[in-house]
Amino acid sequence: MGEPTAELIRAQIRRLRNAAGLNQEEFGRLVHYSASMVSAVETGGRPYDRLFLARADEVLNSGGLLVALLKMAERDGLPSWLRPWLEAERNARQLRCFHPTLIPALLQTANYARAVIRCDDLLSDAEMERRVTARMDRQDVLRQENPPQLVAVFDEGLLHRRDESFRGLLAQQIEHLVACAEHPHVSVHVLPLHVGLHIGMSGPFTLARGEEGGWVASMECQLTTSVIDGDADVATLLSRWEMIRSEALSRRQSLELLKEVVTSWT
Q: For 238-266, what is the mean pLDDT? A: 92
CATH of the domain at 159: 3.30.870
Range(s) of the domain holding residue 17: 3-75
CATH of the domain at 26: 1.10.260.40
pLDDT interval class at 77 (50, 70, 90): low
Q: Are residues 261 and 180 in the same domain?
A: yes
Of the candidates 42, 75, 108, which is a domain's last residue? 75
pLDDT interval class at 2 (50, 70, 90): very low
Q: Are residues 59 and 87 in the same domain?
A: no
pLDDT interval class at 82 (50, 70, 90): low
Hey, what amino acid is at 81?
W
Q: Are residues 58 and 93 in the same domain?
A: no
Q: Would the pTM count as exceeding 0.85?
A: no
| Tens-place pLDDT, residues 49-59 | 778 888 999 99
pLDDT number for residue 75? 63
| Tens-place pLDDT, residues 186-220 | 999 999 988 877 888 888 999 999 888 889 998 87
